[in-house]
Copies of this chain bind each other. A is one copy, B any other.
Amino acid sequence: MVIIMSPHATDEEIESVIDRVKSDGYQSHRSAGQSRTIIGVIGTSIELDPRNYELMDAVTEVVRVSEPFKLASRTFKPESTVVEVSGVSFGGKTIPVIAGPCAVESREQITKIAELVAEAGAKGLRGGAYKPRTSPYSFQGLGEQGLQLLREAADKFDLIAVTEVLEPGRIGLVSQYADILQLGARNMHNFTFLRELGEQRKPVLLKRGISATIEEWLQAAEYILAGGNSNIILCERGIRTFETYTRNTMDISAIPVVQKLSHLPIIADPSHGTGRRHKVLPMARASIAAGADGLMVEVHTDPENARSDGAQSLLPEQFQVLMEKTRQIAVVLDRSI
């Protein structure tokens, strides 16, 4: 942390800042320039609230030097993390695609979709059993039965199974069926939940909160890492902006930004990022071109009758095109799908 004093700061004011640094348990380093004094604070922890210093007399500005996360940063771990899930790697040269319906609706539905996406080259099957819905009157998912059907369909076509956990109390149950636990955007700031995901070992797909800064997102990853679980896959899915033509604005630039700041793999979800079927293909291409380590895409054989989010689900033939095009783009980046 660096504390920049006002040009008018008196000696007592400077001393009083230095005293506070000491009483907070840190060492300081005073440096007197021509016009103002700068106080460097050495070895501060993430815990320190810089605002406390800002409010002191004659302090002009306080600058946090280190990133507010540690284990998640590339400074701490320079080499990229590859998360291995039953033979599927996230963060390596090969780019896995996870596909499937928004919600598991029936054995027939999930089995048919699993077959189609596996044939097209997907490595993972997604499907919600517990659905977070904005309205209390909407379809909320099949629950444990949905989990069973998802597992069964994934096994039949040799796919890994990815599904959302809605509350900490169900981590154990969902873990019995899924290979990757998805933490939804609405729970990204749920610290109790993050902590519990850190205390178990299933890989976590950590979606970016709809209004989370990249910094907050990596702090959420830090919670899981701090518990000892380093199997984290980040997932960009769009942020809230003033634009209303799209449901959310996919922040494609978050992909290179995160890859510079952190060693964790990052995938993209163009279905939630756009909310409309016809924008999924261009945004999937763009995500891979920007360097994404994977894709998660909604696919449905009968989207018009899907029980949720049909409007953003691809038809099977559209998904095949997506696989083909993104595969070709991956080659340009010396990767493969």
Q: How far is the CB of A240 from chain B (nearest CB, A)?
A: 5
In the complex, are the beta carbons of A34 and B43 less than 8 A apart?
yes
Q: How far is the CA of A4 from the CA of B2 in the complex (A)?
A: 9
Give how many A residues have a beta carbon under 8 Å from the other chain's beta carbons.
Answer: 106
* Residues on the B chain within 8 Å of A325, using CB: 332-333
Q: How far is the CB of A43 from chain B (nearest CB, A)?
A: 7
**Among the listed B223, B239, B286, which residue makes an inter-chain contact with A252, where contact means beta carbons less than 8 Å apart?**
B286
User: A222: CB under 8 A from chain B?
Assistant: yes
Q: How far is the CA of A304 from the CA of B255 in the complex (A)?
A: 26
* Residues on the B chain within 8 Å of A242, using CB: 211, 213, 239-242
User: A173: CB under 8 A from chain B?
Assistant: no
**Among the listed B167, B187, B289, which residue makes an inter-chain contact with A288, where contact means beta carbons less than 8 Å apart?**
B289
User: A279: CB under 8 A from chain B?
Assistant: yes
Within 8 A of B (CB), among A261-303: 261, 273-279, 282-283, 285-291, 303
Q: How far is the CB of A332 from chain B (nearest CB, A)?
A: 4
**Among the listed B35, B168, B282, which residue makes an inter-chain contact with A43, where contact means beta carbons less than 8 Å apart?**
B35
Q: A240-B211, A243-B251 in contact; A186/B195 too (CB < 8 A)?
A: no
User: A25: CB under 8 A from chain B?
Assistant: no
**Among the listed B243, B261, B304, which residue makes an inter-chain contact with A52, where contact means beta carbons less than 8 Å apart?**
B304
User: A68: CB under 8 A from chain B?
Assistant: yes
User: A310: CB under 8 A from chain B?
Assistant: yes
Bitwise interface map of A from 184 to 206 toward B, beta carbon under 8 Å scored 1, else 0:
00110111111100000000000
Q: A241-B241, A275-B51, A285-B290 in contact; A166/B138 too (CB < 8 A)?
A: no
A–B Cβ pairs within 8 angstroms, 8 of them? A33-B40, A46-B135, A63-B63, A213-B243, A239-B243, A253-B273, A255-B282, A256-B278
Top 10 nearest A-B pairs by Cβ distance?
Answer: A211-B211, A51-B311, A289-B289, A31-B31, A186-B189, A285-B289, A286-B286, A286-B290, A328-B332, A256-B282
